[in-house]
Chains A and B, each alone.
Chain A
Amino acid sequence: MGTAPPGQVEQVSQIAPHPGFLAPDFSLMSLEGNRYTLSDLRGRPVLVNLWASWCPPCRAEMPAIERIYQEYKHRGLVILAVNTTNQDDPTKMKEFAKELTLTMPILLDQAGEVALLYQLRSLPSSYFIDRQGYIDEVVIGGPMAESLIRTRIEKIIE
């Protein structure tokens, strides 16, 4: 049994890609060849953004996400830009990352396991995870406005 957030009606010990539940854990390699495991980031606020280079709203929101990353990384924020590599063109994905000079970790979901785990139905999908590992907010679809991302980040960074 996990620990439910104080005041929660049901002991949500289960893991699910929904607010109030523990974020499903995953471990993926980044574009630079480093391994990132979500559960290792417990204690830090995390934004998991599932995206693909062919998806116009994903492309549109990425500069704002990068700006937010630059602004908040010193306050402990981690952004994991999980590329749905199994449904993307790796060359185009790399070109896009280079074009925007993205500095946040870009993780490669080559087998589609994270997409499956997070019951991905629409791209982009963003999961705002608090320091205890619980999902605070899910935003499905996009592009998210920078101000929207900022309000959600401020909430999980508290």
Chain B
Amino acid sequence: MNDILTTIREVFAPPRHLILIILAGWIGLAISERRMNRGGSINIEFDSLWTYSLAAFLVGGRLSFVLQNLSAFSEDLLGILSINPGIFDPLGGTMMALVTIRVLARKKKISFWVILDTATPFLALLMMGVSLSQFAAGTSFGRETDLPWGYFVWNAMRHPAQLYDFLLGLIVFIGVWRQKPFRTSGILFLCFTSMTAAAKLLVANFRAEGDYIFLRITEVQLAAWLTMATSFLLIEYRIAQAGHRDRTRKAAG
């Protein structure tokens, strides 16, 4: 077992670990498109939407990083265009991608929630790719263990926490892939975010990396709790909104 895991880590050792994320994203896009075609209910130019969103993610992530470190770039303006993946702020990229999706959705008169539902299988696979990539890079590693499935990394036998994350991600992916479309758009996406947050919360118990923010709660745990709470509130809100629409329609009809 340890030999197989070591081989995977050697084949995809940094900086090759990024290949796993790209590969997962590529497969995820294909699967999302297939799901969209299977549904047959929406006929929109998703290809251009993905392209713009991806471009916004990359540009937004880079710009956000530059803005946070302006002094470092003042003497090396060309550094903004360098190929270093380290010059990137994933949160800034995500925000920019979301804003782009929102703007395009309005322009094309598509529901923002329908787009998020369509992107859900892609996001689920992407999360799996990130977990595998972390495993290959040795980041987000687990606590020490003497369990038989522990593997040797950073001078100790450790929980393969990234693989736990990957397996839970696989379960979430199967769940969203097999799920028939809900009556209310956005529920699929919100189920995905809440399930993923729950999985992260579970795996956080096996992770060694991470800093406590307060009361022995790590950043990951706090983010997971917040994501879950927000998702549940939005599910309630979306269902209530749909109910209200139904009642209005009935009253009018």
Residues of A within 8 A of B (CB): 7-10, 12, 14-16, 18, 20-21, 64, 121-122, 139-142, 144-148, 150-152, 154
Q: Indicate if the CB atoms of B14 and A141 lie closer than 8 Å.
A: yes
Of A9, A14, A121, which contacts B210 at CB under 8 A? A9
B219 to chain A, nearest CB (A): 10
B6 to chain A, nearest CB (A): 12
- Chain A residues with CB below 8 A from B141, complex form: 18
Bound Cα distance A70, B207 (Å) = 40
Bound Cα distance A12, B156 (Å) = 11
- Chain B residues with CB below 8 A from A16, complex form: 154-155
Of B15, B155, B212, which contacts A122 at CB under 8 A? B15
Bound Cα distance A122, B18 (Å) = 14
Q: Indicate if the CB atoms of A9 and B207 lie closer than 8 Å.
A: yes
- Chain B residues with CB below 8 A from A148, complex form: 72, 79, 82, 84, 86-87
A150 and B143 in contact, given A12-B208, A121-B13, A122-B14 (Cβ under 8 angstroms): no
Of B143, B155, B207, B218, which contacts A15 at CB under 8 A? B155
B16 to chain A, nearest CB (A): 8
Bound Cα distance A104, B35 (Å) = 57
- Chain B residues with CB below 8 A from A140, complex form: 14-15
Q: Which residue of B lies closest to A153 (CB)?
A: B72
Of B13, B15, B154, B212, which contacts A18 at CB under 8 A? B154
Bound Cα distance A36, B75 (Å) = 31
Q: Indicate if the CB atoms of B212 and A9 lie closer than 8 Å.
A: yes
A123 to chain B, nearest CB (A): 11
- Chain A residues with CB below 8 A from B218, complex form: 9
- Chain A residues with CB below 8 A from B15, complex form: 122, 140-141
- Chain B residues with CB below 8 A from A150, complex form: 69, 72, 75-76
Chain B contact-residue range equals: 20 to 34
25 contacts between A and B (CB under 8 A): A8-B211, A9-B211, A9-B212, A9-B218, A10-B144, A10-B208, A14-B154, A14-B155, A15-B155, A16-B155, A18-B138, A21-B154, A122-B13, A122-B14, A139-B84, A141-B14, A141-B15, A145-B84, A146-B79, A147-B79, A147-B82, A148-B79, A148-B84, A150-B76, A151-B87
B14 to chain A, nearest CB (A): 4
A147 and B76 in contact, given A16-B154, A140-B15 (Cβ under 8 angstroms): yes
Q: Residue B73 at the A interface, CB < 8 A?
A: yes
Q: Residue B246 at the A interface, CB < 8 A?
A: no
A79 to chain B, nearest CB (A): 17
A9 and B69 in contact, given A16-B154, A21-B154, A141-B15 (Cβ under 8 angstroms): no
Bound Cα distance A64, B210 (Å) = 31
A103 to chain B, nearest CB (A): 19
A14 and B82 in contact, given A9-B212, A140-B14, A147-B72 (Cβ under 8 angstroms): no
Q: Residue B236 at the A interface, CB < 8 A?
A: no
Known A9-B218, A154-B71; 12 more pairs at CB < 8 Å: A7-B211, A9-B207, A9-B209, A14-B154, A20-B209, A121-B14, A141-B14, A146-B75, A147-B72, A147-B87, A150-B69, A152-B86
B245 to chain A, nearest CB (A): 46
Bound Cα distance A121, B16 (Å) = 11
Bound Cα distance A71, B208 (Å) = 36
Bound Cα distance A70, B211 (Å) = 33
B75 to chain A, nearest CB (A): 7
Bound Cα distance A146, B218 (Å) = 32
